[in-house]
Amino acid sequence: VAMPHARPECGALKTGMSLTLLEQGVYFPGNDEPIKLLIGLSAADADSHIGAIQALSELLCEEEILEQLLTASSEK
């Protein structure tokens, strides 16, 4: 899982999140395993995204949920 993100001073207009699942993983420096799940985060201010990150962190700690995300095959 990788989490690219943008801060307000970098052009983020509102707080939002997106999930992208890659069929072929990509390698990021410092990772031995390919990354298949990208979670994009845009923060409109310094605090509004904190709750979303906490909830996402709790969700991704559940192995069953993470496995479901990594094996999803639908655009729903």
Q: Which residues are catalytic?
A: 5
User: Length of the chain in residues, anyone?
Assistant: 76
H, E, C per residue of 18-40:
EEEEEEEEECCCCCCCCEEEEEE
